[in-house]
Amino acid sequence: MRVVRPVYVDLLPPCNAGCPAGENIQAWLAHAMKGDHEAAWRQLTRDNPFPAIHGRVCYHPCESACNRGQLDGSVSIHAVERFLGDLAIDRDWQFDQSRTHSGKRVLVVGSGPSGLSAAYHLRRLGHDVVCRDNSPLAGGMMRYGIPSYRLPRRVLDAEIRRLHHLGVVFEQDHTVVDLNAEMADGGFDAAFVAVGAHLSKRVDIPNQDASRVLDAVSFLRDVETGEVDPDLGRVAVYGGGNTAMDAARVARRLGAEDTVIVYRRNRDQMPAHEDEAADAEDEGVRINWLRTIASMGEHDLTVEIQELDEKGRPRGTGRFETLAADTVILALGQESDTRFLANVPGVEFDGDVVRVDPRSLMTGAPGIFAGGDAVPSERTVTVGVGHGKKAAFSIDAFLGRGAYASGTQHPIADLDKLHLWYFGDHDQRQQDALDPQVRVAAFDEVVAGLEPDEAVFEAGRCLSCGNCFECDGCLGACPEDAVIKLGVGHRYRFDYERCTGCSTCARQCPVHAIEMIGEHDPMPDNVFLPPPAGGLR
């Protein structure tokens, strides 16, 4: 007869698995639920130094993965993250200084999200870090591409200021044109290239008047620096991505008489996030789907109506319309300016991006790493921050700390693994937002944060998928008193002399933190091993 026995296991929460920045979301939510906000912030910033920024601009794929989303609404992770980030700014919490000093110097090229993340983690690992960027202020596309109504500059500045306190050296208005020379002259032992996608793709439009055609990246940058001409008249934005939505919404705030987005595909195919398009329409932006610009007149555009073929690709119909437009803003995608790497031996390219080892992010040139918009990837703040963290640990290993291994990933705790009897129905707390008519009058932040009690409540909605949260269910359910409680924070262990293998404990565990295995089967890698008996104080 095969004898089975219970073991405590740790599974990977789907929110953690879905976070490109590599946050241990479940862990910091547990601190937040208890009201220990500083502990939550410190747990969060072990992986991501910018919670107030991410709580505003991340498209929170963690929430799309959240098991609770299949019940009564996902945990509003980004809202709790923002709450913790804002609280940290208000209370001036700072990062702990590194207790080690490696004597190594690392050059970071680019002060956007990926470069700043790498600088943070490298500094905490004990390396000297210099961050060089060709813009007057640090932040990259977070400052020059994301409008202030989504990311207030006081928030951006406060979270970057912590890196100054940590010892990162910033050298702005510094354009790197020869990476090898910069490294040799500065005595750098490694470099991380994290230049953003600041070059707009262009398109030739018949009868194009260059004075009336702007590119979206330059337009948003000029708005940030105060150099934009506010007399836009009627605006047409060409493109269907998030940058197109931002450009259209900014044009509305600058007083454009009318703003329309022209996009060649339909709504289901647009690259912009649905929330971005919905917000733009709420603010009075019109979107003309299945249209391309054919030519420009003096104060109008001729657009061709498109249709989708059997493969879902747009094609012209030969039917045309006229749209009033005094200014055209091109938002057809961006490219990274990686030309300064062209003469570095070993560095290879795929178009405008650099080829890297996906495990380490090192290029073909030893000691030169790249991430964020400079490599093939989704171009978001969160992906960039995740690259910065990954590159920092890879650089640390390259500089002599030994091979970097990210560790074995535990199985994911899907909803069908959970026993939901324990959890009641609690609706998600919503963030307030400005009325659309009020929004377009200024650049005030559109979405508000949670109140302290709302943040605690929202954190408490976490199901703790796959990891014991000491509910005492196994303790109360065991008919043989074979479960031994080890004290708060230490979980439990089984007395196998008493255990009969009935599996009652496993069947009731809300979060699938108990599994039954054969007595002689190999122990799974994700088993939680409590301290030995008598080992607790």
Which band of pLDDT confidence, cut at 50, 70 and 90, is reported for residue 256? very high
Residues 223-234, mean pLDDT to the nearest whole number: 90
DSSP character at residue 248 = H
Q: Which two tokens stand for residue 436?
A: 């659309």
Q: Which residues pair with 238 in a beta bridge?
A: 262, 330
Tokens 């601190």 locate to 31
Give how far the C-alpha of residue 95 lies from the chain's centroid of Cα atoms, to the nearest Å. Answer: 20
Which of the residue ranges 191-205, 412-426, 460-474 has the most confident prediction, judged by mean pLDDT?
460-474
User: Which residue is listed with tokens 């194009």?
Assistant: 208
pLDDT band at 319 (very low <50, low <70, confident <90, very high): very high
Q: How far apart are CA 65 and CA 49, in angstroms?
A: 22
Q: Please enumerate in sequence order all residues whose Cβ is within 8 A of that of 142, keeping only pairs 6 or more positions apart, or say none.
A: 53, 57, 112, 113, 151, 156, 381
Grade residue 535 by pLDDT with cuts at 50, 70 and 90.
very low
- Spatial contact of 74 and 157, defined as CB atoms under 8 Å apart: no
Helices (H) and strands (E) in the chain, counts: 18, 21
CA 119 from centroid of its chain's CA atoms? 17
Task: Summarize the confidence of residues 482-486 as an average pLDDT.
Answer: 94
Higher per-residue pLDDT: 234 or 521: 234
Q: Give the integer Cα–Cα distance in Å for 351 and 229.
A: 33
Percent of the chain with pLDDT over 70: 95
Q: DSSP of 399-427, one letter per residue?
A: III------PPPPB--GGG--GGG----P
What is the predicted pLDDT for the residue at 38? 98
E strands, 231-348, in order: 234-238, 258-262, 286-288, 291-296, 300-308, 314-324, 327-330, 334-335
Task: Identify the weakest region by mean pLDDT among 287-296, 319-328, 337-346, 430-439.
Answer: 430-439
Contacts of 46 (CB under 8 A, 6+ apart): 24
Sequence-ordered list of residues with C-beta below 8 angstroms from that of 73, at least 6 positions apart, any chain: 427, 428
Integer Rg of the chain from CA: 26
What is the residue type of 536? Answer: L
Judged against a pLDDT cut of 50, whether residue 537 lies above it is answered with no
pTM: 0.91
**pLDDT exceeds cutoff 70 at 1:** no
What is the reported pLDDT for 532?
58
* Least-confidence region, from 322-326, 342-346, 412-416, 531-535: 531-535
Rounded Cα gap, residues 78 and 150, in angstroms: 14
Which residues of 133-197 form beta strands (DSSP E)? 169-171, 190-193
Q: Are strands 300-308 and 314-324 parallel, antiparallel or unpaired?
A: antiparallel
**Six token digits for residue 497:** 């002399």
Segment 227-234 long-range contacts (CB within 8 Å, at least 24 positions apart) = 228/254, 230/254, 230/255, 232/256, 232/257, 232/326, 232/327, 233/257, 233/299, 233/325, 233/326, 233/327, 234/258, 234/259, 234/299, 234/324, 234/325, 234/326, 234/327
The whole-number pLDDT of residue 248 equals 96
Q: Which residues 6+ apart lie within 8 Å of 29 measured at CB?
A: 40, 75, 77, 80, 459, 462
Q: What percentage of the chain has pLDDT greater than the value 90?
A: 74
Torsion 262-265-267-272 (CA) sign: negative
Task: Please name the residue ranges forming H helices in 254-410.
Answer: 274-282, 381-396
On whether the CB atoms of residues 451 and 458 are closer than 8 A, the answer is no
What's residue 9's pLDDT? 94
Q: Which residue has the higher pLDDT, 120 or 427?
A: 120
| Pick from 200, 195, 225, 226: nearest CA to 213 | 200
Beta-bridge mates of residue 334? 200
pLDDT value, residue 2: 64
**Amino acid 350: pLDDT:** 87
Q: Give the H or E element holding residue 83.
A: helix 77-90
Nearest to 63 by CA among 78, 45, 53, 51: 78
Domains plus CATH for the chain?
105-198+336-401 (3.50.50.60), 202-327 (3.50.50.60)
Q: What is residue 447's predicted lDDT score, i.e. its pLDDT?
A: 82
- Identify which of 128-132, 326-330, 460-464 has the greatest average pLDDT: 128-132
Provide the residue type at 157 as one letter.
Answer: D
Q: Give dist(CA 229, CA 219) in Å, integer.
A: 9
Give me 417's structure tokens: 């693994």
pLDDT at 432: 78
Q: Rounded to an integer, what distance in angstroms lies between the CA atom of residue 478 and that of residue 499?
A: 9
Q: Decide if pLDDT at 204 tops 70.
A: yes
- For 105-163, the pLDDT digits (tens) are 999 999 999 999 999 999 999 999 999 999 999 999 999 999 999 999 999 999 999 99
The rounded mean pLDDT for the chain is 91
Rounded distance between C-alpha atoms, residue 103 and residue 81, angstroms: 34
Residue 487 has pLDDT above 60, yes or no: yes
Q: Which residues are bridge partners to 485 per DSSP?
A: 492
For residue 197, how far is the Cα from the chain centroid? 16
Six-digit token string for 227 = 């150099």
